Amino acid sequence: MRINHNIAALNTYRQLNAANNAQQKSMEKLSSGLRINSAADDAAGLTISEKMRGQIRGLDQAQSNAQDGISLIQTAEGALNETQNILQRMRELAVQASNDTNTADDRAEIQKEIDQLTLEIDRIGESTEFNTKKLLNGQAGITSSAQTATVADVTDITIKGTNPAATTLTAEELNAAISKVDAGTKTEAGVYEVVVTANATAATLDDGGVSAADASVSSDTTITINGVNISLKATDTEQDIIDKINNASEKTGVIAIDQGSGAGLKLTQKEVGSSKSISVTGANADLQSLGLTDSTTATALSSNGTDATGTINGSAATGIGNTLILNKSGDAADGISVKISDDLVVSAGKSLTFNAVIDNTNVVDLQIGANNSAEQSLSIDIRDMRAKALGVDSINVTSATTAKNAIDTIDEAIKAVSSERSKLGAYQNRLEHTINNLGTSSENLTAAESRIRDVDMAKEMMEQTKNSILAQAAQAMLAQANQQPQGVLQLLR
């Protein structure tokens, strides 16, 4: 028998410590509900579960982001609903003003209401915001610009006001020839090649020859330009006639120019394009003496301007005045419009080529995923919905003709607002599906993380019970082992 080392007691003590430690860990897991409470519990499992936790929290926040996006869309769409109601009322008023049972005073009163409705459209566009972010004034829409204008022979491209002796045009001058690039409601961000083959021209009237004397009329008379009567006197000088025609230009859209050297007058539309024409009626002798015709029988003269021509991304664009518009369903450039400066002159058979850049730097970018990737974000663009952008900033119903034209203009504005609302509705539906998918992903990932990190309570309770019994047994056996050396004393008596 040995008393220096009580091996049985030491072994029992070691087993008691092991049971106590195991019991302590079991109690820690049971009290927290987690299998991994520190890295020592499962180093690899901790790393994997922490990555999953980051994804889960990201997915949950992405759901919240998508909900905020829906709220933003609903705010914008609600405002556009009211804008559309206003446009419907404006159209109703335009139809009313088109009826010739109305007097000039009646139409003036209708015009007052239309003017106020126009101001309200602007106010809605300027004031609609979400979390202080403007939504309908163009700040949430895509941006556009013209860049890298090129031309094969710049001597065939001129810009009014530049040095006519110049053999080259600077890049700034070439780019200035493109005064505006607008993205349509279906235009995607990108770079588009625009080729201008002809600029728009204004309608003009003159006889193309040389008259023997300055423009004049032989007796008091009246000529009619675009439906507006202009009274001329036999005593009027050429400058008097020019002044009278130009004083009425706000109504006629036509200005008179002295061609000099006794060549008579030249009438020119102030705006370019085929929709802007000149119509002049009067006595044949008067039209001849004004230098507008050399025909001996003409009592009515007319002239139409021409629209710009060109292509966008190789597809023929529609010219409206000096604006080229591409309407091609399915094309990335569908809806893009390019405004050419009225100062640009493209020689016959030549073309000006430049790139129109459509960017999305101003769009509302929603983070709808847990990670930083293009596929996990959604860009929402909301176009400028103010009166000028809709083309209704100068609606005029003071005559039956202008009121009828206003109907077409308002119809286009209603169509534009409807298109924007439809796009916003599509965004909202997409976000609702996104939220459902994010919820499912978060749920499944949480289940996976739970299998790694959470404790099986039944199994761990069994372990805790086992370790508790072992600890009690070890404690009892330690007491027995400590008593065994007492037997040595019997040998010493």
pLDDT attached to residue 121:
96
Q: Does 199 reside within a domain?
A: no
Do 65 and 24 sit in the same domain of this protein?
Answer: no
On whether residue 52 sits in a domain, the answer given is yes
**Secondary structure element (H or E) that encloses residue 364, with its range:** strand 364-367
What DSSP letter does each residue of 165-211 carry, written as one string? T-S---HHHHHHTEEEEE--TTPPSEEEEEEEEE--B--EE--SS--
**What pLDDT score does 288 carry?**
80
Same domain, 234 and 289: yes
341 within a domain of the structure (yes/no): no
Place of tokens 């399915």: 330
Which three-class secondary structure state does DSSP give residue 455? Answer: coil
User: Which CB contacts under 8 angstroms, 24+ apart, belong to 249-252?
Assistant: 251/226, 252/225, 252/226, 252/227, 252/228
Crossing angle for the helix pair 400-453 and 43-98, to the nearest 10 degrees: 170
Domain annotation covers residue 391:
yes
Residue 182 lies in a domain: no
Based on the fold, state whether residues 413 and 389 are members of the same structural domain: yes
- CATH number of the domain enclosing 237: 3.30.70
pLDDT value of position 292: 81
User: Cα separation of 216 and 212, whole Å?
Assistant: 11
Which positions ≥6 away from 307 have C-beta within 8 Å?
200, 273, 274, 319, 320, 321, 322
Domain boundary among 253, 274, 304: 304
**Residue 23 and residue 121 in one domain:** no
3-class secondary-structure state, position 58: helix
Maximum Cα–Cα distance across the chain? 166
| pLDDT tens-place string over residues 249-286 | 988 989 988 877 666 788 898 888 888 889 899 888 88
What is the number of domains present in the chain?
Answer: 3
Q: What does the DSSP 8-state code read for residue 381?
A: -
Q: Tell me, yes or no, whether 431 and 372 share the same domain.
A: yes
53 and 129 inside one domain: yes
Q: How many Å apart are CA 273 and CA 307, to the nearest integer?
A: 5
Please indicate, yes or no, whether residues 484 and 418 belong to a single structural domain of this protein.
no
Asked whether residue 61 is domain-assigned, the answer is: yes
Give the full edge-to-edge strand order of the sheet including 277-281: 228-232, 221-225, 277-281, 300-304
In 103-259 the beta strands, taken as DSSP E runs, fall at 129-130, 133-134, 143-150, 157-159, 178-182, 190-198, 204-205, 221-225, 228-232, 254-258
Categorise residue 152: left if φ over 0, alpha if ψ from -120 to 50, beta otherwise.
alpha
Report the alpha-carbon distance of residue 475 to residue 477 in Å, rounded.
6
Summarize pLDDT for 143-191 with one digit per residue, the tens: 555 555 555 455 566 666 554 544 556 656 666 667 677 776 667 767 8
CATH assignment at residue 121: 1.20.1330.10
Between CA 180 and CA 172 the distance in angstroms is 14
Domain boundary among 287, 304, 321: 304
Q: Are 445 and 56 in contact (CB under 8 A)?
A: yes
- For 400-411, what is each residue's pLDDT tens digit? 999 999 999 999
Residue 262: per-residue pLDDT:
63
- Whose CA is closest to 222, among 203, 236, 211? 236
Single out the residue in 289, 304, 319 at which a domain terminates: 304
First-to-last C-alpha distance (Å) of the chain:
16
- Does any domain span residue 197? no
* Same domain, residue pair 395 and 472: no
DSSP SS3 for 325? strand
Closest CA to 40 of 64, 20, 19, 24: 24
Q: What is the pLDDT of residues 11-47, one digit of tens each?
A: 888 888 888 888 888 888 888 888 888 888 889 988 9
Domain around 468: 7-33+455-491
Both 44 and 135 in a single domain?
yes
Contact 294, 209 (CB under 8 A): yes
**Contacting residues for 309 by C-beta, under 8 A, at least 6 apart:** 196, 197, 198, 317, 319, 324
Question: Is residue 477 in a domain?
Answer: yes
Q: Say if residues 203 and 276 touch (Cβ distance below 8 Å).
A: yes
**Which residues, including other chains, have CB under 8 Å from residue 141's CB and lie 6 or more apart?**
183, 362, 363, 381, 382, 383, 384
Q: Which residues of the chain have pLDDT under 50?
A: 152, 163, 165-166, 210-212
Tokens read off for 98? 């088109």
Residues linked to residue 280 through DSSP beta bridges, in sequence order: 225, 301
